[in-house]
Amino acid sequence: MFKPTIYQKNIYNIDYSALKKQNIKVLVFDLDNTLALIDENKCPSKSKKLIKELKKDFQIFIISNNTSARIKPYVEELGIEGVPNARKPFTRGLKKIVEKGYKKEEMVMIGDQLVTDILSGNRFHIKTILVDPLGKKDLKITAFNRLLEKQIFKFYKRKNILERGRYYE
């Protein structure tokens, strides 16, 4: 349930050309600590540049448990769509994207949390990519999730289950 399809250090290390070859057409990014630090109010230039390039080949969405006020500056600046109040690990936010005419097999969920982003994508039966959080600072609600993740990572490490750059399916 918590195992991603791919694990990478950050969004810049993902092999997007490989995703394109797998017929992925929709990249669904988490916002906080995936695309930007939680206390940033505009998209970092490095993320902005990446999204601009990715828009040539993919439809891009931001999906967040945060409010529309939080994601609005990003979706406007990047010229992409967003789904606020997604309630991950539930799949409601991902369903909204499919309702726009996209197929599950063409989607990938990219985020920094096993307990929200990866679980949501896995429950929705789409590919998932876990990245390390951009920063150490988290929202208070996330602190509990990180404790759970720590235990899951310990288990994965003991069982030699998860390593960066490896593809799982």
Beta-carbon count within 10 A of 5 CB: 20
CA–CA separation, 103 vs 144, rounded Å? 32
Sign of the CA dihedral 15, 16, 22, 28?
positive
* 11 pLDDT more than 90: yes
* 93 pLDDT more than 60: yes
Beta-carbon count within 10 A of 68 CB: 12
Res. 4 pLDDT band, cuts 50 70 90:
very high
CA–CA separation, 56 vs 160, rounded Å? 37
Res. 103 pLDDT band, cuts 50 70 90:
very high
